[in-house]
Structure 1
Amino acid sequence: MLLIKNGQLIDPASGLCGLCGVLVDGDRIAKIGMCGSLDDMATESMLLRENEANTGLTDAQSEDTLVSIDAAGCIVAPGLVDGHVHFRDPGFTYKEDIESGAKAAARGGFTSVVMMGNTDPHMDNTDTIKDVLERGAKTGINVYTCGNVTKNMAGKELVNMDELIDAGAVLFTDDGKPIVDEELMERACKEAARVGKVISLHEEDPSFITDNGINAGEVAGKLGLVGSPREAEISMVKRDIDIARRTGASITVQHISAAESVDLIRDAKREGISIHAEATPHHFTLTEGAVLKYGALAKMNPPLRLESDRLAIIEGIKDGTIEMIATDHAPHAREEKAKDLKAAPSGITGLETSLALGIRELVDKGYLSLMDLLQAMTINPSRIYGIDAGAIREGGWADMVIFAPGEEWSFVQSASKSSNTPFLGERLPGKIIYTICRGKVVYKA
């Protein structure tokens, strides 16, 4: 058994917040005891006695198997949940693979992740989905996967959603490629509504884009580029809100970047349309000026935009328009990002810095409480995608992160195969002390 004592438990799923002890038996949470002013020994004794009554264990057996973690000064929260990661496996394992991606996730406090399907082969067939899930089950964290919306992510023919769900797909997306064909998108939404799954959408109309990864504006002009205008995103968000309205489908707008998109989603939610949105830490932290400082390390799709967009995204998270914070963890090899800006691929890694940036940019600056931040990083994505994760409850999975919100750490080395991030080398708050998945320590500082 594992006893976590003296920590400040924050569980957004229940609203529980206070000093606590958490007793883990195997892969489940056996007991949660609020300790208040009780000292360590009273808390431990209380939890053990109550557990013995439930399990029939003797004092000797309990003592023989008990391991304690003193979480004094730390937050004990549900293991973080990321509904949008790229582990590049199969097909591009020189950038990342399932094992290395899972290590980066655990180091960042994540116990559950959903892999995207722009792999080779794609997540458009049952064999590939079953393979990655079997290998993911061996990593120590909970690895889920999407199914693609269209075969070969070509935007021409729908997959068999029933078959991919049976194989284990938890959502559908062609992330990395927008579904341009409106008629196909409407059929996909009808199918997704029928099977009760969410379609998660990369909203950038390629017909608007000259140079992807960089905002069309002042910075692009300085670099001799045209860039990607905000209309590329806004136009597709408008279209897909209309399709969701007609079909009753549930959709997610991924990695939102433009203030107008936030407004459109807010209005759609008020109308009762089943629409969700995610924001990345880089979009609520940086603006297009970062490209001048970091070069290709600040190139991503959709691009970093203006300060007004950054603030609109933060306001969207604050008022619940944007329910999820997702990393869009997108590893690339060093030599790929070393190319000139136009040729370099878009995307940055993010699993190891997500919580820290949320604390620094949203909590410490007064936009969100720590409870609100954790809600967007735990129970919200779990509920939206139907994953059994993101909560601390008796009888539930023992998936937790223990972190010190005020303790700084240096991000100098990544557990990922790749380190294409502008945040490498920074001092960041929110040191992860332990990540625990299914009752086992999968990361320890």
Structure 2
Amino acid sequence: MDFLLENGLVYQAGKLQKMDLLVQNGVITAFGQNLGQLFEDTKRIDVSNKLVSPGLVDVHVHYREPGFTHKETIKTGSQAAAHGGFTTVCAMPNLNPVPDTAERLANVITKNESDGVVHIKQYAAITAGLKSEQINDLAALKEAGAFAFSNDGSGIQTAGVMYQAMKLAANLDMPLVEHIEDNSLLYGGVMNEGRRAHELGLPGMLGLSESSQLARDLILAQKTGVHYHACHLSTKESVELMRLAKSKGVNVTCEVAPHHLLLSDEDIPADDAYFKMNPPLRDENDKAALLAGLLDGTIDMIATDHAPHSHEEKIGGMCQASFGITGSETAFTLLYTHFVKSGKLTLEKLLDKMSSEPAKAFRMKSAGELLIGRPADIAVFDLDTEYELKEEEYFSKGTNTPFTGEKVYGKTIMTFVAGELVYQKED
């Protein structure tokens, strides 16, 4: 479809400028003023007073198919991504069967391509069955189309296994993406260890379970030279470790999830499983350190860790419920409302952290920026109209987020993937 987005506030080449954007045959072909005079026969879409941004990029989602389609499917997950302004997502391998062989991975990739409405890049598992024992044939997985390697949801418990996996990934020039968690330090916790856990009478999760394993991995990454990416940092110690590693030139990147930037354990009102996620909401000092790390570049990007569950899996209190929170449909709007409108982040910085920076870190050549000749992966947002996050408006099967009911700004109006309209707000 050829079309012209007219009079939008376009984020292009690091600047916000009022201009038009022309798409022909699914590709961006021109930027400029008054392009409608030159392309009178092209469909014209008035986006006055709207933000026109690169399609957002999320390197951390869970689509649950195959194996757990009562939680989410590739179709519903990708529709939720489009609803949130995302055009490229990277899906984790904690599925059943786990994509730990070339054949299994190829099957998931085929399904992603047939059912997904956005670009879906697929992680392959580092080890067989996501256990900390046998390393998979990483070369075969790369050949089969793996985006990167990860055991997300399960930290690799053995340093020797991690070291060997890093060496293999480095030789293949592939990123190794890790859920950082030492199981021996969990002690059955369900929320952050601290005053609020004691008040609620719930077992706590030590921040040490994250930071101690991150310290191990950063030393191994320095030795092997692998591109090591740390998932969902949540503690101030992890930020400090990452800052130190980067100062020493270690080839590392990392992400933070919106909920860890927006909430602390002090915000948990009761034994409510919608506030149960892994890593858990930490304390106010941790939350402040995460924002500081995002601002100074220690933290490279924002990733949602979109983790949908069924209603039945999120009732009965934290000790019984599954870990996880959805994020695809709420990430941009919440962060825009709480950080950009309050002056803590610029709009340009937020967009970079949710588009160009993840694309650059993972060498996605056609994502993250609006450039002539690039596929027209575009999101259009209304920054001025307040609205309420409503459960009945989510496209995801999962409604497990404590943010429902919040009044926010930054609603997605349209999302285009390679020039095709994949989401449009109902009038």
> Aligning the two structures, in what range does the TM-score lie when normalised by the shorter sequence?
over 0.9
Deviation at 1:417, TM superposition (A): 0.8
Aligned to 1:208: 185
Deviation at 1:210, TM superposition (A): 1.7
1:139-190 CA-partner distances (Å, limit 9, x unpaired): 3210111011111101101111111112111111100000110011011111
- Contact 1:24–1:30 (CA under 8 A) maintained in structure 2: yes
Deviation at 1:129, TM superposition (A): 2.1
In the alignment, the residues of structure 2 paired with residue 313 and residue 422 of structure 1 have an alpha-carbon distance, to the nearest angstrom, of 20
In the alignment, the residues of structure 1 paired with residue 313 and residue 342 of structure 2 have an alpha-carbon distance, to the nearest angstrom, of 35
- Contact 1:219–1:292 (CA under 8 A) maintained in structure 2: no
Percent identity, please: 37
Deviation at 1:109, TM superposition (A): 0.4
Aligned to 1:8: 9
> What does 1:378-417 align with in structure 2 at a 5 Å threshold?
378-387=355-364, 388-412=366-390, 413=392, 414-417=394-397
Aligned to 1:440: 420
1:361 equivalent to 2:353? Answer no
> What does 1:25-36 align with in structure 2 at a 5 Å threshold?
25-33=24-32, 35=33
1:233-271 CA-partner distances (Å, limit 9, x unpaired): 110111111001111111111111101110110111111
In the alignment, the residues of structure 2 paired with residue 294 and residue 402 of structure 1 have an alpha-carbon distance, to the nearest angstrom, of 37
Deviation at 1:294, TM superposition (A): 6.8
> What does 1:30-429 align with in structure 2 at a 5 Å threshold?
30-33=29-32, 35=33, 42-46=34-38, 48=39, 63=41, 66-138=42-114, 139-293=116-270, 295-387=272-364, 388-412=366-390, 413=392, 414-429=394-409
In the alignment, the residues of structure 1 paired with residue 271 and residue 17 of structure 2 have an alpha-carbon distance, to the nearest angstrom, of 41
- Contact 2:15–2:348 (CA under 8 A) maintained in structure 1: no
1:76-119 CA-partner distances (Å, limit 9, x unpaired): 11000100000001000000000000110000001110000000
In the alignment, the residues of structure 2 paired with residue 69 and residue 428 of structure 1 have an alpha-carbon distance, to the nearest angstrom, of 25
Deviation at 1:333, TM superposition (A): 0.6
- Give the letter aligned to residue 338 of structure 2: E
- Give the letter aligned to residue 403 of structure 1: F
- Contact 1:318–1:367 (CA under 8 A) maintained in structure 2: no
- Give the letter aligned to residue 385 of structure 2: E
Aligned to 1:38: none
- Give the letter aligned to residue 78 of structure 2: A
What residue ranges of structure 1 are gaps of 5+ in the alignment?
36-41, 49-61
TM-score, normalised with respect to structure 2: 0.96
- Contact 1:212–1:303 (CA under 8 A) maintained in structure 2: no
My pick for the range that moved more, 91-100 or 224-233, is 224-233
- Give the letter aligned to residue 25 of structure 2: G
- Contact 1:314–1:367 (CA under 8 A) maintained in structure 2: no
- Give the letter aligned to residue 376 of structure 1: K
- Contact 2:277–2:323 (CA under 8 A) maintained in structure 1: yes
Aligned to 1:54: none
- Give the letter aligned to residue 389 of structure 2: F
**SS of aligned partner of 2:277:** coil
In the alignment, the residues of structure 2 paired with residue 109 and residue 163 of structure 1 have an alpha-carbon distance, to the nearest angstrom, of 33
**SS of aligned partner of 1:239:** helix
- Give the letter aligned to residue 419 of structure 2: G
Matched pairs, number? 420
- Contact 2:57–2:88 (CA under 8 A) maintained in structure 1: yes
Deviation at 1:224, TM superposition (A): 2.2
**SS of aligned partner of 1:241:** helix
In the alignment, the residues of structure 1 paired with residue 334 and residue 418 of structure 2 have an alpha-carbon distance, to the nearest angstrom, of 26
**SS of aligned partner of 2:281:** coil
- Contact 1:96–1:416 (CA under 8 A) maintained in structure 2: yes
- Contact 2:36–2:44 (CA under 8 A) maintained in structure 1: no
Aligned to 1:53: none
**SS of aligned partner of 1:309:** helix
**SS of aligned partner of 2:126:** coil
What residue ranges of structure 2 are gaps of 5+ in the alignment?
none
- Give the letter aligned to residue 8 of structure 1: L
In the alignment, the residues of structure 2 paired with residue 160 and residue 428 of structure 1 have an alpha-carbon distance, to the nearest angstrom, of 46
In the alignment, the residues of structure 2 paired with residue 357 and residue 174 of structure 1 have an alpha-carbon distance, to the nearest angstrom, of 28
Aligned to 2:411: 431
Deviation at 1:225, TM superposition (A): 2.5
- Give the letter aligned to residue 347 of structure 2: L
Aligned to 1:19: 18
- Contact 1:212–1:301 (CA under 8 A) maintained in structure 2: no
1:438/1:360 CA distance change after superposition, 3 Å: same
- Contact 1:291–1:299 (CA under 8 A) maintained in structure 2: no
In the alignment, the residues of structure 2 paired with residue 100 and residue 404 of structure 1 have an alpha-carbon distance, to the nearest angstrom, of 23
Deviation at 1:135, TM superposition (A): 2.3
- Contact 2:271–2:317 (CA under 8 A) maintained in structure 1: no
